[in-house]
Amino acid sequence: MSAPRLELRHITKRYGDVVANDDVGLAVAPGEIHAILGENGAGKSTLMKVVYGAVAPDAGELLWDGAPAAIQSPHDARALGIAMVFQHFSLFDSLTVAENVWLGLSRTVSLREVVEGIRGKAAEYGLDLDPDRPVHVLSVGERQRVEIVRALLANPRLLILDEPTAVLTPQAAEKLFETLRKLAATGCSILYISHKLHEILALCHQCTVLRGGRVVASCDPTRESTASLSRMMIGAEPPRLERRPANVGPLALSARGLALPGHDRFGVALEDVSLDVHAGEIVGIAGVSGNGQQELLAALSGEDPRADAGAIQLFGQPIGRMGAAARRKRGLHFVPEERLGRGAVPSLSLANNMLLTRHEALRAFGWIDRAALRHQASGVLRRYWVKASGPAAAARSLSGGNLQKYIVGRELDAVPKVLVVAQPTWGVDVGAAAQIRAELVALRDAGCAVLVVSEELEELFALADRLHVIAKGRLSPSIGSAEASVEQIGEWMSGLWTGGPGQAAALAGGAR
Amino acid sequence: MNELALLVAATLSAGTPLAIAGLGLLLNERAGVLNLGAEGMLLISAVAGFAAAYHGGSEWLGFAAGAAAGAAVAAVFGWLVVWLNTNQYATGLAVSLFGSGFSAFVGIDYVGRQLGEKTAHAVPVLADVPFLGPALFRQHPMVYVAVALVAAAAFFLYRTRAGLVLRAVGESPQSAHALGYGVRRIRLAAVVTGGALCGVAGAFLSVVYTPLWVEGMVAGRGWIALALTVFATWRPGRILLGAYLFGGVTMLQLHLQAQGVQMPSQFMAMLPYVATVVVLVLISRNPLWIRLNMPASLGKPFFPGA
Ligand SMILES: Nc1ncnc2c1ncn2[C@@H]1O[C@H](COP(=O)(O)OP(=O)(O)OP(=O)(O)O)[C@@H](O)[C@H]1O
Ligand SMILES: [Mg+2]
C-alpha cells in the first residue's frame, strides 16, 4: 500500500484552558473521502486549520505523502496542493465573484479564463454563479458556492471542506457530491466535515469521530447508519421532534403587496409579496438562496426600512418604516443568517453581544448592570448547551455551531411575540439542532408567531405548519406542509406556481 | 484671459505635490495601513531633496534623494506598524512630530540658501498655442509625471493581479492570509512605495515649487493629502481631481488677495479646508460608495494565525 496522502500524529492544540485538539491522529489515503464527525466544539475546524497551516499546533507532527512536512502558513499548504473551504468564509466583499476565485488560483491563469471557468464549471458542479457580481450582494448560500468553486478550480491534491453544504439546497449538494466523487476518483483526497449524517453515509469512505478534541472512534460509514453515527458522536440518538397540531391565534405579522426595488443593480427586487403569520403557527419560506430571502428578511426585520409603512404590519400596526429596534420593542425579534458580523460582533464578549438585542441588564441612564448581564448570558449558555469558556469569551472564539446556538438562544430567550429566523440550525450538530427545533415548536405552542427562512427542505417540512416558496423576488401562495410534496415545492422553487415568475416566463416563451 | 491661464498654470503646479503624496497615501491605505505621518515624511524628504539638489546641482538628484528619504522613513513606520503591530494612529502621529523636529534640525544650514537658476520649461509646439500653452504646457515635467503616475496607479489597482491582491489585503487581511498571501510583506511594500511617492512630493515642494527650504514649509499639505484619499474615495483619478481642486482654491485665494478683494485673509486661508469638509460631507452621503471603495481593514492591525 502506498503512503497516505496526509497523516496526522499526536496533534494537540490548546486555547487557554480549552483543549481543542487532544493527541489527534488520522490518515487519509489518496482518493479517499474522509469524514470528520463530531458535535459542536469537538475541534473539527481547529484540526482542519492545523492541516491548512492557519493554526499552529502546540504538539504533534504532520506527514505529507509519507514524509514529514512543516506547514507554517496557508501559503505552504497551498504549495503542497491543499485547498480549503472555510466554515466562516474567507471572501472579499468588494470584489467580484471572478476576482475572488482568481485570488485563490495560481498566477498563471488570467481573469478571463477564470470567468470562463466559472461559467463552464458552474453548470457541471451544479453551482450556479454570476462571475461579475460583487460578493457583498450575495446571500450566504451563494457565498458558499463561491468558496467551493474557488477550491475546486484550484485542482487540489487534498481538499478540505468544512461544512460546505450547510447552506446549500439538497439538489446543489447532490451535484456537489457527484463532483467530489469524480475528483476523488482522480486521486484527490478529501477531508469532509458535515453535521448532516446522511451525507456522510452517502459520500464518505472513512470516518473519524471527535469528541472533546479526542478521537473517540473511527469507522467505515458505509457500514453504519445515521443512528449509530449519532451515538458515536453525542452518545445518543437525537430525540424526534414532538409536535401537536397548531393552535392558530390572531394575525401577528403580515405583509401586503410588499414591493421593494433592489438596492443596486445586483440586488433582487421584491414584487408583490404577501404573507401572514399568525400567533401560534410556524410559517416556512423555502427557496434557493439568492432569490430575495435576504431582501425579504431585511424588510421584515427593519434593517431595510424603505417599505411602505402599511406594507408590513405587526398586530395591525404599520411598521414598514420602523427600524429594527422599534420593531423589537413591539415584540418582533430576528435571527439573521450571517452570524458573525450581523448576528454578533466577533470581537466583543458574549455578554456584550447580549446587549445588541436585549436590554434587560440596562439600568437608568443606560447604565449597564454587569453582574446581571453576565448572569443573563450564562443563562443562555447553559440553557442552549453552548460550549464556551464563559460569558467573557469573545464571540469569534466560539465554534461555528456554538455561536449559532448562542444567537438563536439569545432571541428565543427573549420570549418574542414574533420571531423571524433565518437558517436556524446552520452548522449545528444533530443533537443541538433537534433541541433548537424543539424550542422553536415550544415557542409556537406558547403563542409566538414564527417565520423560518431556510434552504433545508427537510427542516422546513419538520417545523412549519405552512410553507411559502420564494423565487425571483416573488412569493408563492402558502400551502399546508402536510399537503405539500417535496416535488411540488421543488417546482415552485423554479417559480412555477400559478402566476409565479417561472410560469409567466414560460407563458411569454410560448407566445413568442 | 491671460490671467486665467496663469491661474490654471499655478493651480496645476500647486496641485502636483498634493496629487503625488495623495497617491502614495492611497496605495498605503488600499493595503489597509493608515499613515498619519505624511506631514513628517514630506518635511524630511523636502529637506533631503533640497540638500541633494543644492550639493548635486540637479533637480532630479533632489527627487531621488526625496524618494529615498521618504521610503526610509516609511520603512521604519511600516516595520513598526506591520511587524510589531504598534497602533497605526499613534505611530503615524509620532512620525509626523518627529519629522517636523528632525527636518528643522538638519535643515538649519539650508535656510536661506538658493538653488541655481530656475529653468523655464515648455512643451515644444504646444507651449505656443494661445491660452492652452501658458495654461497647460509650460509646466515642470513633474507635473506631467504626476498625471502619468495617477494613470499608472489606476491601471495597477484595477487591471493587474498585483493590484487586486493589494486591494484584497486592504479589505480582509485574514482572508488574504488564508489564501496564502504574505499580508505583512505586501503591506510593507505598499507602505514603502507610498513613502517614496510622498518623498517625491516633498522634494518637489522644496526644489521646484517654493524653491527653498524653511522650517515647516510643507505647511499642512501632508494632512491635506490624507484628507484627499477620503475625498477621492480611494480612487486614483479622483485624487488628481481633488488635488487640482484644492490647488485651485488655494491659488484663487492668493489671486483674490492680490486683486485687493476686501475679505479678511484668515477667512481666505480657511477656504480650502472648508471646501474639503463640505466635499467630505457630500461624499459620505453615499454609504455604498464608501463601502465598496474604502479598504475595510484600514487602520487595523493584522496578526497572522490568530
Ligand atoms: N481562536 C480561538 N480562541 C479560543 N478558543 C477557540 C478558538 N478557536 C476555537 N476555540 C475553541 O476550540 C474548541 C473547538 O472549536 P472548533 O471550531 O474546532 O469546533 P468544531 O468542531 O469545528 O465545531 P462546529 O461544529 O461548531 O464548527 C471550541 O471549544 C472553541 O471554543
Ligand atoms: Mg467548525
CATH 3.75.10.10 fits A251-331+416-511, yes or no: no
- Percentage of residues of chain A with pLDDT beyond 90: 49
Which ligand number lies closest to the CA of residue A212? 1
Domain boundaries, chain A: 6-234, 251-331+416-511, 341-400
pTM: 0.82
Query: How confident is residue B138, by pLDDT bands cut at 50, 70 and 90?
Result: confident
Cα of A397 to ligand 1 centre, how many Å?
7
Domain boundaries, chain B: 2-114+122-293
The single-letter code of the amino acid at B49 is G
B51 has a pLDDT exceeding 80: yes
Q: A interface mutation test: which of B164, B172, B174, B179 has the most A CBs within 10 A?
A: B179
Range with lowest mean pLDDT among A20-24, A487-491, B193-197? A487-491
| Per-residue pLDDT at B200 | 97
Residue nearest to atom 28 of ligand 1 (CA): A41
Which has more confidence, A343 or A241?
A: A343
Query: How confident is residue A184, by pLDDT bands cut at 50, 70 and 90?
Result: very high
CA A118, CA A125: separation in Å to the nearest integer?
A: 10
Query: How confident is residue A229, by pLDDT bands cut at 50, 70 and 90?
Result: confident
CA A286, CA A281: separation in Å to the nearest integer?
A: 16
What are the DSSP E strand ranges found in A414-499? 418-422, 449-453, 466-471, 474-475, 479-480
A118 has a pLDDT exceeding 70: yes
Neighboring chain A residues of B165 at a CB cutoff of 8 Å: 103
| Per-residue pLDDT at A511 | 41
The mean per-residue pLDDT over the stretch A287-308 comes to 89
Are the beta carbons of B180 and A74 separated by less than 8 Å? yes
Same fold across A6-234 and A251-331+416-511 = yes
The CATH number assigned to the domain with range B2-114+122-293 reads 1.10.3470
| Per-residue pLDDT at A168 | 78
Residue nearest to atom 4 of ligand 1 (CA): A397
Closest CA of chain B from A284, distance in Å: 31
Are the beta carbons of B304 and A73 separated by less than 8 Å? yes
Quick one: closest CA in B to A151, which residue? B179
Question: How many residue contacts between A and B have a Cβ separation below 8 Å?
Answer: 68
The mean per-residue pLDDT over the stretch A454-461 comes to 87
Closest CA of chain A from B66, distance in Å: 34
Region class of B233: left (phi > 0), else alpha (psi between -120 and 50), else beta: left
Ligand 1 nearest-atom number relative to CA A163: 27
Between the ranges A61-75, A305-319, B88-102, where is the mean pLDDT highest? B88-102
Closest CA of chain B from A75, distance in Å: 4
The predicted-structure confidence for B89-115, as pLDDT tens digits, reads as follows 999 999 999 999 999 999 999 998 888
Model ipTM value: 0.86
Which has more confidence, A69 or B250?
A: A69
Are the beta carbons of B305 and A73 separated by less than 8 Å? yes
Joined grid coordinates for residue A271: 414584487
What are the DSSP E strand ranges found in A29-103? 33-38, 59-64, 67-68, 82-85
Quick one: closest CA in B to A263, which residue? B288
CA A398, CA A406: separation in Å to the nearest integer?
A: 9
A328-361 core/surface letters (b: 16 or more CB in 10 A; e: else)? beebbbbbbbbbbebbbbeeebbbbbbbebbeeb
| Per-residue pLDDT at A512 | 37
Query: What residues does ligand 1 touch, defined as CB less than 6 Å away?
Result: A 15, 18, 20, 38, 40-46, 87, 387-388, 397-402, 427, 429
Ligand 1 nearest-atom number relative to CA A402: 26
Ligand 1 nearest-atom number relative to CA A21: 14
Neighboring chain A residues of B182 at a CB cutoff of 8 Å: 75
| Per-residue pLDDT at A508 | 56
Name the CATH architecture for the domain at A6-234: 3-Layer(aba) Sandwich (3.40)
Which has more confidence, A105 or B200?
A: B200
The mean per-residue pLDDT over the stretch B133-152 comes to 92
| Per-residue pLDDT at A507 | 58
Query: How confident is residue B188, by pLDDT bands cut at 50, 70 and 90?
Result: very high
Q: What are phi and psi of B251, to 5 degrees?
A: -65, -40
Ligand 1 nearest-atom number relative to CA A393: 4
| Per-residue pLDDT at A510 | 43
| Per-residue pLDDT at B170 | 95
Q: Closest Cα to residue A497, out of A480, A481, A474?
A: A474
